[in-house]
C-alpha cells in the first residue's frame, strides 16, 4: 500500500519505490529520478550513489519508520562544481532524523523528559539531548540587550564534578528576568563574554554582592551605571562576622561550655522576630554571660533595623555612619572590620534607597531554580548543555519535567 510521503513525512523530490511492513516498523524505499546542479541548474551531471537510512515520523502504531534512499555526489559538466546532493527534508547533510520528526520531538520536549522521548521513539538519549542542544544554541546565540537598563550579577554554586568548576557567574535582566550571560567560575574572568553582549545596552543600575571583582569590572566598563550592593549580602556578611565572634569565644571555653554554645549557633544567626520565646530567653542569658557575642548580636539587629526604618538614602547614610561609629567604639575586632567594610562600600549600599529598594532577590531565587535543575537531571556531564538550560530556565516552570 503506498504511503503519502508529503503529508506523513514532509518528503519532497523523491518517489516511493517500495514499502516493507514489519512487526513494529516500516521501511520505505525512495528514489530520485531527476538530478541537477544546485549552482547552475544544469541536468548534465555525473552521479556517485551513497546509500542512507533516515528515521521518519511514526505511522500509526509503527514507531520505527525508516526511509531508505540513495544520496548522490554530483559533478556538473556545465559549471564543473562537485557537491553532495541537497536533501530538502533533512536539517543538515549528516542528519539521521527527518525535519518533521525533529520538529515533533522539540515540540514534545517541554512536556516530556529526554528519557521518555528516547523510549517512545526508540532513539538514543544522546540523540534527543543533542537535538535540543542544537536548538538552544541557535535560540540563545544572540540575545537582545539594547533595552536592558538594570542587571543583577551573582555567582551560583553548582557543585563538584563540573569540569573542576564549582561556580557559574550569572548575569540577568532584572526587569524581564532573562539570562544575559552565564560564565564559568567567578570573578572578572567569568564576565569576559558579558561585555560584548551588553555593549549596546543603556545600563543604569547593577545589583551585586560586595565582591571587589564585580565592582571594578562595572566601574571600568560602565562608569555611568549605579552600583547597588544588595542588602541581603550586607546582612549575610554581618552574620558571618557574628559567627566569627562565636567561634573566637568558643575557642576559649572548656569542653562542656563549647558544646552548649555550638548547639545554639543558629539562635544567634536567626532574626529576633523569628525566635520562639524560649530561644529568646536562652539568647538573653547567653548575652549576659558573653558580652562580645551579645553586643555583636545587637549590632546585627541594629543593622537590619536601618533597612526597615530609613526613609531615603540621606537618612540611611546618617544611620550607617552612626552604626559604624558605635561598632568601632565597642573594640570588638569583627565589628570594627564590618564597620570599615560598610564605610568603604557606603555609596553602593545607600543606592538601595535611591532606586526604590531594588535588590538581588531575584538572583538569589534564580540560584534555587538552578539547584532544582541540577537535582531534576541528577547532575550534568555536558557543561555547555547545562549552561544553555540555564538560559532557558526563566521560560519554564518548576512543575515541568526536565
With bands split at pLDDT 50, 70 and 90, how would you rate the model's confidence at 164?
very low
Whether residue 61 lies inside any domain: the answer is yes
pLDDT in tens, 18-66: 888 877 788 888 877 677 777 787 777 776 677 888 898 888 777 788 8
The arrangement of strands across the sheet holding 205-208 comes to 179-184, 167-173, 150-157, 205-208, 226-229
Whether the predicted pLDDT of 245 surpasses 90: no
Whether residue 400 lies inside any domain: the answer is no
With bands split at pLDDT 50, 70 and 90, how would you rate the model's confidence at 201?
confident
Whether the predicted pLDDT of 401 surpasses 50: no
Q: Judge if 183 and 329 occupy the same domain.
A: no
Q: Sign of torsion, CA 254 262 279 271?
A: positive
Mean pLDDT value across the chain: 83
Q: Which of 339, 344, 337 is nearest to 326 (CA)?
A: 339
Q: Judge if 342 and 382 occupy the same domain.
A: no
User: pLDDT value at position 283?
Assistant: 66
User: pLDDT value at position 285?
Assistant: 67
Q: Judge if 127 and 162 occupy the same domain.
A: no
Whether residue 301 lies inside any domain: the answer is yes
Cell readout for 346 is 557606603
With bands split at pLDDT 50, 70 and 90, how would you rate the model's confidence at 232?
confident
- The domain of 261 spans 231-354
**159 Cβ neighbours under 8 A, 6+ residues apart:** 166, 374, 379
Q: Judge if 116 and 30 occupy the same domain.
A: yes
Selected residue with higher pLDDT from 104 and 359 = 104
**Crossing angle of helices 346-354 and 231-250, rounded to 10°:** 140
Q: Which of 101, 226, 87, 67 is nearest to 151 (CA)?
A: 226
Q: Judge if 171 and 183 occupy the same domain.
A: yes
Considering only the C-alpha atoms of the chain, give the largest distance between any 2 of them, rounded to a whole number of Å: 99
Whether residue 401 lies inside any domain: the answer is no
Q: Which of 239, 187, 183 is nearest to 208 (CA)?
A: 187
Question: Any idea which of 55-64, 118-127, 202-211, 262-271 has the lowest mean pLDDT?
Answer: 262-271
User: pLDDT value at position 315?
Assistant: 93
Beta strand pairing call for 25-31 and 64-76: parallel
Q: What is the CATH number of the domain that holds 173?
A: 3.30.420.10
Which whole number is the average pLDDT over 367-378? 81
The answer to whether 280 and 268 have CB atoms below 8 angstroms apart is: no
Which whole number is the average pLDDT over 99-110? 91
Whether the predicted pLDDT of 324 surpasses 90: yes
Q: Judge if 50 and 133 occupy the same domain.
A: yes
Q: Judge if 44 and 130 occupy the same domain.
A: yes
Whether residue 324 lies inside any domain: the answer is yes
Whether the predicted pLDDT of 356 surpasses 60: yes
Q: Judge if 86 and 11 occupy the same domain.
A: yes
Selected residue with higher pLDDT from 12 and 329 = 329
Which whole number is the average pLDDT over 266-274? 66
Which whole number is the average pLDDT over 191-209? 87
Beta strand pairing call for 45-56 and 205-208: unpaired
| Structural domain ending residue among the three candidates 87, 117, 138 | 138
Whether residue 181 lies inside any domain: the answer is yes
With bands split at pLDDT 50, 70 and 90, how would you rate the model's confidence at 402?
very low
Which whole number is the average pLDDT over 131-143? 92
Q: Judge if 346 and 247 occupy the same domain.
A: yes
| Structural domain ending residue among the three candidates 74, 104, 138 | 138
User: pLDDT value at position 1?
Assistant: 44
Q: How many domains does the chain divide into?
A: 3
User: pLDDT value at position 260?
Assistant: 65
Q: Judge if 204 and 291 occupy the same domain.
A: no
Q: Judge if 134 and 26 occupy the same domain.
A: yes
With bands split at pLDDT 50, 70 and 90, how would you rate the model's confidence at 257?
low
Which whole number is the average pLDDT over 189-211? 87
Residue 113's CB is within 10 A of a number of other CB atoms, namely 16
The answer to whether 4 and 12 have CB atoms below 8 angstroms apart is: no
Q: Sign of torsion, CA 7 11 17 22?
A: negative
Whether residue 285 lies inside any domain: the answer is yes
Whether the predicted pLDDT of 184 surpasses 60: yes
Whether residue 143 lies inside any domain: the answer is no
Provide φ and ψ at 314, rounded to 5°.
-65, -50
Highest mean pLDDT among 183-192, 211-220, 264-273, 311-320: 311-320
The answer to whether 15 and 54 have CB atoms below 8 angstroms apart is: no
Whole-model pTM? 0.78
Which whole number is the average pLDDT over 365-392? 84
Which whole number is the average pLDDT over 333-347? 93
Beta strand pairing call for 205-208 and 226-229: parallel
Cell readout for 261 is 554554645
First CA to last CA distance, the chain: 40
Question: Any idea which of 110-114, 245-249, 250-254 has the lowest mean pLDDT?
Answer: 250-254
Degrees (nearest 5) of the Cα angle 301, 234, 274? 40
Q: Which of 229, 213, 199 is nearest to 363 (CA)?
A: 229
Which whole number is the average pLDDT over 340-349? 93
**CA gyration radius, the chain:** 31
The answer to whether 393 and 373 have CB atoms below 8 angstroms apart is: yes
With bands split at pLDDT 50, 70 and 90, how would you rate the model's confidence at 163?
very low
Q: Could you give the count of Cα atoms lying within 13 Å of 379 in the half-sphere of its Cβ?
A: 7
CA dihedral 280, 282, 288, 293 (to 10 degrees): -80
With bands split at pLDDT 50, 70 and 90, how would you rate the model's confidence at 179?
very high
Q: Judge if 52 and 116 occupy the same domain.
A: yes
Amino acid at each position: 500500500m503506498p504511503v503519502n510521503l508529503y503529508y506523513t513525512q514532509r518528503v519532497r523530490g523523491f518517489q516511493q519505490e517500495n514499502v516493507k511492513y514489519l512487526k513494529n516498523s516500516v521501511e520505505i524505499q525512495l528514489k530520485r529520478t531527476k538530478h541537477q546542479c544546485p549552482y547552475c541548474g544544469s541536468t548534465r551531471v555525473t552521479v556517485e550513489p551513497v546509500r542512507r537510512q533516515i528515521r521518519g515520523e511514526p505511522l500509526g502504531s509503527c514507531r520505527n519508520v525508516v526511509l531508505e534512499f540513495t544520496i548522490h555526489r554530483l559533478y556538473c559538466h556545465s559549471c564543473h562544481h562537485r557537491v553532495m546532493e541537497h536533501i530538502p527534508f533533512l536539517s543538515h547533510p549528516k542528519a539521521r532524523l527527518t525535519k518533521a520528526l525533529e520538529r515533533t520531538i522539540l515540540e514534545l520536549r517541554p512536556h516530556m523528559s529526554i528519557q521518555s522521548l528516547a523510549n517512545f521513539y526508540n532513539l538514543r538519549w544522546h540523540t534527543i539531548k543533542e537535538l535540543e542542544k542544537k536548538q538552544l544554541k541557535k535560540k540563545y546565540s544572540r540575545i537582545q540587550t539594547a533595552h536592558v537598563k538594570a542587571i543583577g550579577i551573582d555567582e551560583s554554586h553548582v557543585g563538584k564534578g563540573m569540569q573542576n568548576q564549582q561556580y557559574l557567574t550569572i548575569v540577568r535582566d532584572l526587569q524581564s528576568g532573562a539570562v544575559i550571560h552565564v560564565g564559568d567560575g567567578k570573578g572578572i574572568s567569568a564576565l569576559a563574554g558579558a561585555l560584548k553582549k551588553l555593549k549596546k545596552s543603556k545600563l543604569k543600575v547593577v545589583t551585586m554582592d560586595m565582591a571587589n571583582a564585580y565592582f571594578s569590572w562595572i566601574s571600568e566598563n560602565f562608569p555611568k551605571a549605579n552600583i547597588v550592593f544588595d542588602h541581603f549580602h550586607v546582612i549575610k556578611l554581618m552574620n558571618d562576622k557574628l559567627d566569627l565572634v562565636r567561634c573566637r569565644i568558643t575557642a576559649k571555653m572548656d569542653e562542656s561550655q563549647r558544646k552548649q554554645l555550638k548547639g545554639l549557633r543558629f539562635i544567634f544567626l536567626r532574626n529576633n522576630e523569628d525566635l520562639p520565646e524560649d530561644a529568646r530567653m536562652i539568647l538573653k542569658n547567653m548575652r549576659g554571660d558573653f558580652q562580645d557575642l551579645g553586643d555583636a548580636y545587637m549590632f546585627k539587629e541594629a543593622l537590619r533595623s536601618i533597612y526597615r526604618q530609613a526613609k531615603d538614602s540621606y537618612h540611611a547614610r546618617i544611620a550607617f555612619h552612626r552604626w559604624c561609629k558605635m561598632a568601632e567604639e565597642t573594640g570588638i575586632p569583627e565589628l570594627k572590620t564590618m564597620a570599615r567594610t560598610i564605610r568603604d562600600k557606603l555609596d553602593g549600599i545607600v543606592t538601595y534607597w535611591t532606586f526604590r529598594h531594588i535588590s538581588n532577590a531575584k538572583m538569589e531565587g534564580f540560584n534555587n531554580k538552578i539547584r532544582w535543575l541540577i537535582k531534576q537531571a541528577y547532575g550534568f556531564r555536558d557543561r555547555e548543555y547545562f549552561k544553555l538550560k540555564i538560559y532557558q530556565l526563566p521560560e519554564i516552570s518548576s512543575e515541568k519535567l526536565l
